[in-house]
Amino acid sequence: MSDLTIRGKTAIVGLGETRYYKRGAAPDPEFKLTLQAIMLAAEDAGIDVRDIDGFASYSNDRNDPPRIQSALGIKHVGFSNMFWGGGGGGGSGAVGNAAAAVAAGYCDIAVAYRGLAQGQFGRFGQGAAIPVAPGGMAFTAPYGLMSPAQMFAMRVNRFMHDHGVNQEALRAVALASYHHAQYNPNAVMHGRPLTEEDYDNSRWIVEPFHLFDCCQENDGAAAVIVTSAERAKDLKHKPAYILAAQQGSDYRQAAAAHNAPDYGTSNFKSLAPRLYKQAGLGPKEVDVLQSYENFTGGVMMSIVEHDFCKPDEVNDFFQLDNFRFDGGKLPLNTSGGNLAECYMHGLELITEAVRQIRGTAPCQLEKEVNISMVTSGPMVQPVSNLILSREAKP
């Protein structure tokens, strides 16, 4: 691992989020939502939106920087970047790429953004309506294995088998997200609490995932502004310094037909130690965690692989009480996350991580948050993660 680092050189200084809608309920097209989120983020940072000169997104976002630049009348763009791969694997990665671009001098003010209107475009939760499955899909789709839930259920099942994990561990992740959404008026599931019985009685989507183990499908857009640590000091809000950002994938994780040698994994085994090394700290220093929930089982393996608990301790550790913002050992997904706030492809996890540093989250921790962490996109390839800090050089 290289000694060159972006540690402490940049910060997140602006947050923008449209209203979050149920899938298909957004009154505006995706591109308009994206522009709104970017303008809101600039306003929050206290900068002119025309001064943004770097763009970073992920998951084949349809809202391309050249069109955004033209729409906003930006004079020069020095960096425009797409993080490869699908799912939410690039949420932290887009922020990391924005930070790297600022640190390397490609641009002064970068925005990491995601716009998503599954009502306007296709749904993630359905298999593609195609007559023929070519390539790697030929080995799965004809057998009825087509949706993201189905792509990941067998990885989770194998992990649960290997470590004797009970269904209640997955349930705890869902309960934590719904618990926090009840305090968050922006959450789509605000006012819709989830009990253990609700979870247990909910239908299976694909064993071992109940309905409440699966993320929502939503419409909206979100954006965060990244600039240099020097510039950040003079802006409106307390900066959330980017202490570490990693991205990548473990050995042959994308091998076709589910042939990744290490199968029951969230794909963070090589990234997690690199993240902690870059940040110069360990899991004990992390005050609050936003962990991308495509499915609860992915959160479980992400938490294990970031060394918050051992694989064989999952049944004990995965309890709602450990994940609550009010007194939990590891406050988790404190805005409601993908399950209960909004599936903004995990960019809403970044904005929540920043709010916890600022002290403005609906579920704000009682203690001062010094270290706020995000993990993005378990089980996909590549994945990414991020550590934010109250101090540039803690």
Partner 1 sequence: MSDPYPSSQGGAAVASPPAASTGDYYLPVGLPQPAPYPEGLAKEYWEATRRHELVVQRCDKCNVFQWGPEFLCYACHSWDLSYVQVSGRARIFSWERPWYPVHPALKEKLPYIVVLVELPDAGNVRMVGNLLGDPLQEVVIGAEVEAVFEDHNDVKTPFTLVQWRVV
Told to check if 143 binds partner 1 by CB under 8 A, we report yes
Member of 137, 235, 273, 326 binding partner 1 (CB under 8 A): 137
Candidates 34-42, 200-208, 302-310, 335-343: pick the segment binding partner 1 (CB under 8 A). 200-208
Candidates 82-90, 100-108, 146-154, 370-378: pick the segment binding partner 1 (CB under 8 A). 146-154
Pick the closest to residue 38 from 97, 115, 121 (CA basis): 115
The 3-state DSSP class for residue 168 equals: helix
Told to check if 136 binds partner 1 by CB under 8 A, we report yes
Task: Give CA–CA dist 265/379, Å, rounded.
Answer: 7
Told to check if 217 binds partner 1 by CB under 8 A, we report no
Told to check if 205 binds partner 1 by CB under 8 A, we report yes
Least Å from the CB of residue 121 to partner 1: 17
Q: Return the H-helix or E-strand segment holding 377.
A: none
The whole-angstrom distance between residue 163's C-alpha and the CA centroid of its chain comes to 26
Member of 129, 191, 197, 366 binding partner 1 (CB under 8 A): 129
Do β-strands 109-117 and 54-58 pair in parallel, antiparallel, or remain unpaired? parallel
Identity of the residue, 75 or 203, whose beta carbon is nearer to partner 1 in the bound complex:
203
Identity of the residue, 252 or 310, whose beta carbon is nearer to partner 1 in the bound complex:
252
Least Å from the CB of residue 122 to partner 1: 13
The values of phi and psi at residue 301, to 5°, are -70, -35
Task: Give CA–CA dist 14/45, Å, rounded.
Answer: 4
DSSP 295: B
Told to check if 206 binds partner 1 by CB under 8 A, we report yes
Q: In sequence order, which residues have a C-beta less than 8 Å from that of residue 117 and are 6 or more positions away? A: 26, 29, 30, 33, 219, 220
**Cβ burial, residue 260 (10 Å; 0-12/13-18/19+):** buried
Least Å from the CB of residue 118 to partner 1: 15
Least Å from the CB of residue 138 to partner 1: 4
Task: Give CA–CA dist 168/66, Å, rounded.
Answer: 47
The angle subtended at Cα 216 by Cα 307 and Cα 369, nearest 5°, is 40
Member of 25, 78, 86, 140 binding partner 1 (CB under 8 A): 140
Told to check if 359 binds partner 1 by CB under 8 A, we report no
Task: Give CA–CA dist 256/44, Å, rounded.
Answer: 44
Task: Give CA–CA dist 199/393, Å, rounded.
Answer: 43
The residues annotated as belonging to the active site are 292, 343
Candidates 104-112, 250-258, 343-351, 363-371: pick the segment binding partner 1 (CB under 8 A). 250-258
DSSP 121: S
Identity of the residue, 62 or 258, whose beta carbon is nearer to partner 1 in the bound complex:
258
Identity of the residue, 28 or 213, whose beta carbon is nearer to partner 1 in the bound complex:
213
Told to check if 257 binds partner 1 by CB under 8 A, we report yes
Q: Which residues bind partner 1 (CB under 8 A)?
A: 125-147, 149-150, 153-155, 157-158, 161, 203-208, 252, 255-259, 263-264
